């Protein structure tokens, strides 16, 4: 039997040291909503679990230059009660809050949602659309990376041995900006996304889209950032033609699989639908 140990360091330095010393045999525990399931199912057999919730900066939400820095261990329930983030990045908050039940929300973290590496992670497309940047601490100090550069494949990330995601910076955004995230699931709750679409955009005074980011989840081995999708919106008033272009761009980008949660055909079609619908919600939010 494996001799598992549990550590709950009070500082990031300590956590990084433990993680690096374990040479890949340790797992970071934030909310545990994925980790403990994998442990229970015997999918992972780590030698050490490092609980990072006692590290203050990982559980903090701070305003920073008009934007927000959100600790990687902040739970969905806590973020959902944060008025500043709700006003600034409603799409990010709603995406995070879609993960699991109320009970899961009490624990699940954005850092975990990202680092679990699931293509279907709900928070990730919204974070990518928001152009969020994460801080990563490791044996060689700190670095920053765009959220879209973290997941490299199902269950795979670009984090090096000993690295921990510390927080996410959601930047200040121009006036008349809005974001939204929609996902499709067979039920109304408790499912993994079959398709997810996150969109962030900015409008000028005439209602013309001047900037946009479009991200999809669950339709490829990683979340996708769609340049064509953004191009379809920028310069338009999100009229019918732009929506059709967005729909087509979303469908064209998909490289999904057929599995127990949905078919290739279904995912492709619904990706276009959700992209359009999310764009319209983001537009309404931008218009205030």
Partner 1 sequence: MAKIHVTTTINGEPVEFLCEPQQTMLDVLRDELRLTGSKEGCATGDCGACSVTVGDRLVCSCLMLGAEAEGQEIETIEGMADGDTLHPLQQKFLEEAALQCGICTPGVLIAAKALLAKNPDPSESEVRYWLAGNLCRCTGYDKIIRAVMDCAADMRGA
Partner 2 sequence: MTVESKKYKWVGTSPVRPDGNDKVTGRAKFGADLMLPGMLTGKVLRSPHAHANIKSIDTSKAEALPGVKAVITSADVAELESEWVPAGELQLNFRDLAHNIMANGKALYDGHAVAAVAATSAAIADAALDLIKVDYEVLPHVIDVEEAMEADAPVLHADMFTDGVTPKPTKASNIFKEVDIAVGDVEAGFAKADLVVERSFKTAPVHQAYLEPHAAVASFSEDGQAELWCCTQGHFVVRAYCAKLLGMDIADLRVTASEIGGGFGGKTTVYLEPVALMLSRKAGKPVRAVMTRDEVFRASGPTSGAASWVKVGVTNDGTIVAGEAILKYQAGAFAGSPIQPGCMCAFAPYDIENVKVKGYDVVTNRSKVAAYRAPGAPISEHAVESVIDEIAKKLGMDPIELREKNAAREGTNAAYGPKFGVIGFADTLAAAKAHPHYSAPLGPNQGRGVASGFWFNIGGSSSATVNVNEDGTLALATGSPDIGGSRASMAIMAAETLGIEVTDVRPIVADTASLGYTFLTGGSRVTFATGMAVIEASKKIALELRERAAKTWDISVDAVIWEDGLAKPAGANAGDFEPLTLADLAAKANQTGGPISSAASLNAEGAGPGFGTHICDVEVDPETGAVKVLRYTAVQDCGQAIHKAYVEGQIQGGAAQGIGWALNEEYIYDEKGRLDNASFLDYRIPVASDLPMIDTVIVEVANPTHPYGVRGVGEVPIIPPMATVANAIDSAIGIRLTELPMSPPRVLAALDNGS
Binding flag, residue 46, partner 2 (CB under 8 A): no
* Dihedral angle sign, alpha carbons of residues 158, 109, 172, 12: negative
**For residue 86, what are its two tokens?**
């709700």
**From CA 86, how far away is CA 256, in angstroms rounded?**
31
Binding flag, residue 29, partner 1 (CB under 8 A): yes
Cβ proximity to partner 2, 71 vs 256, nearer residue: 256
* Dihedral angle sign, alpha carbons of residues 250, 129, 131, 178: positive
Cβ proximity to partner 2, 162 vs 262, nearer residue: 262
Q: What radius of gyration, in Å, describes the C-alpha atoms of the chain? A: 19
Give the containing element (helix H, strand E) for 86: helix 83-88
Of 12, 60, 61, 77, the residue at the interface with partner 1 (CB under 8 A) is 77
User: Comparing C-alpha atoms, which of 183, 199, 159 is closest to residue 262?
Assistant: 183
Binding flag, residue 208, partner 1 (CB under 8 A): no
Cβ proximity to partner 1, 29 vs 165, nearer residue: 29
Cβ proximity to partner 1, 138 vs 155, nearer residue: 155
Rounded to the nearest 10 degrees, what angle do helices 240-253 and 264-287 cross at?
Answer: 140
Q: Answer with the entry of partner 2, partner 1, none that 47 interacts with (C-beta below 5 to 8 A by kind).
A: none
Of 46, 71, 178, 262, the residue at the interface with partner 2 (CB under 8 A) is 262
Residue window 78-117: x/- pattern of binding to partner 1, with contact defined by CB under 8 A: ----------------------xxxxx-xx----------
**From CA 46, how far away is CA 156, in angstroms rounded?**
16
Binding flag, residue 252, partner 2 (CB under 8 A): no
Cβ proximity to partner 2, 53 vs 251, nearer residue: 251
Q: Answer with the entry of partner 2, partner 1, none that 270 interacts with (C-beta below 5 to 8 A by kind).
A: partner 2
CB of 2 to partner 1, least distance (A): 9
Residue window 185-224: x/- pattern of binding to partner 2, with contact defined by CB under 8 A: -xxxxxxx-x------------------------------
Q: Answer with the entry of partner 2, partner 1, none that 266 interacts with (C-beta below 5 to 8 A by kind).
A: partner 2
CB 22, CB 9: distance < 8 Å = no
Write the Ramachandran bin of 275: left for phi over 0, alpha for psi from -120 to 50, otherwise beta: alpha
Q: What is the dihedral of CA 77, 170, 133, 31, to 10 degrees?
A: -10
Cβ proximity to partner 1, 85 vs 219, nearer residue: 85
**From CA 191, how far away is CA 218, in angstroms rounded?**
12
Binding flag, residue 287, partner 2 (CB under 8 A): no
């Amino acid at each position: 039997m494996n001799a598992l140990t549990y550590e709950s360091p009070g500082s990031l330095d300590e956590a990084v040291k433990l993680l690096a010393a374990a040479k890949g045999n340790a797992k970071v525990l934030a909310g545990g909503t994925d980790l403990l399931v994998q442990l229970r199912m015997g999918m992972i057999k780590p030698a050490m679990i490092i609980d990072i919730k006692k590290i203050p900066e990982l559980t903090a939400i701070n305003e920073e230059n008009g934007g927000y820095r959100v600790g990687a261990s902040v739970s969905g329930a806590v973020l959902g009660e944060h008025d500043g983030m709700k006003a600034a990045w409603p799409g990010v908050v709603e995406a995070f809050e879609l993960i699991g039940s109320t009970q899961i929300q009490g624990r699940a973290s954005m850092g975990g949602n990202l680092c679990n590496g699931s293509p279907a992670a709900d928070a990730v497309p919204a974070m990518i659309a928001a152009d969020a940047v994460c801080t990563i601490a490791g044996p060689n100090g700190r670095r920053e990376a765009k959220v879209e550069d973290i997941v490299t494949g199902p269950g795979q990330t670009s984090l090096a041995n000993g690295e921990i995601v510390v927080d996410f910076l959601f930047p200040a955004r121009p006036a008349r900006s809005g974001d939204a995230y929609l996902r499709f699931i067979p039920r109304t709750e408790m499912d993994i996304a079959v398709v997810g679409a996150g969109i962030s955009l900015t409008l000028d005074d005439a209602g013309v889209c001047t900037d946009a980011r479009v991200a999809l989840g669950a339709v490829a081995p990683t979340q996708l950032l769609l340049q064509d999708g953004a191009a379809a919106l920028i310069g338009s008033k999100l009229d019918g033609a732009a929506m059709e272009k967005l729909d087509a761009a979303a469908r064209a980008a998909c490289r999904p699989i057929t599995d127990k949660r949905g078919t290739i055909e279904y995912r492709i079609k619904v990706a276009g639908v959700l992209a359009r619908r999310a764009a319209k919600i983001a537009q309404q939010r931008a218009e205030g």
